[in-house]
Amino acid sequence: MNKGSSRWLRRTITVSAVTVAWTLVLLLGPLLATLAAVRDVATNRRWITLRFLVFGTIFLSCELGGLLGALVVWVVTLGGRLEALAFRLNFGLQKLWAGCLFEGLVRVFGMKVRITGTEMLHKSPVIVFSRH
């Protein structure tokens, strides 16, 4: 199998798997949410199972949105031939995708984010080592 056909096979499997998973989670959502809530109440787990289910739905939605966004970028940039535009659009898509996932985590799990030492930030690329 050559590189081009294996790439399309991989993409077909990935897009299909994400689409099927997202559809199943949405269709079975009420049942899964009820089961998760019952489990959390029965085990006094502070809604962790239900929150995990909600974040899983957010994750799959972000994945599907990212895949659809990548398709739009690919079409707009003529299959990636307009490299500079493809880079900018993909970078913007990645920022949106990561931002949505992060915002979902913060809201669903009630995370508190604190940034210290902002005076040390540079405008150039950096490597960040975080402690949690």
Mean per-residue pLDDT, 20-27: 98
Distance in angstroms (rounded) separating the CA atoms of residues 132 and 130: 7
Query: Is the separation of the CB atoms in 60 and 25 below 8 Å?
Result: yes
Mean per-residue pLDDT, 26-51: 96
At 69-110, the pLDDT tens digits run: 999 999 999 999 999 999 999 999 999 999 999 999 999 999
pLDDT of residue 68: 97
Question: How does residue 132 score in pLDDT terms, banded at 50, 70 and 90?
Answer: low
Residue 18 has pLDDT above 70, yes or no: yes
At 105-129, the pLDDT tens digits run: 999 999 998 888 888 777 787 777 7
Cα-Cα-Cα-Cα torsion 43, 54, 91, 77, nearest 10 degrees, comes to: 140
Of 41, 44, 93, the residue nearest 65 (C-alpha): 93
pLDDT of residue 27: 98
Residue 56 has pLDDT above 90, yes or no: yes
Q: Of 7-16, 23-32, 113-122, which gets the smallest average pLDDT?
A: 113-122
Q: What is the pTM of this model?
A: 0.85
pLDDT of residue 63: 97
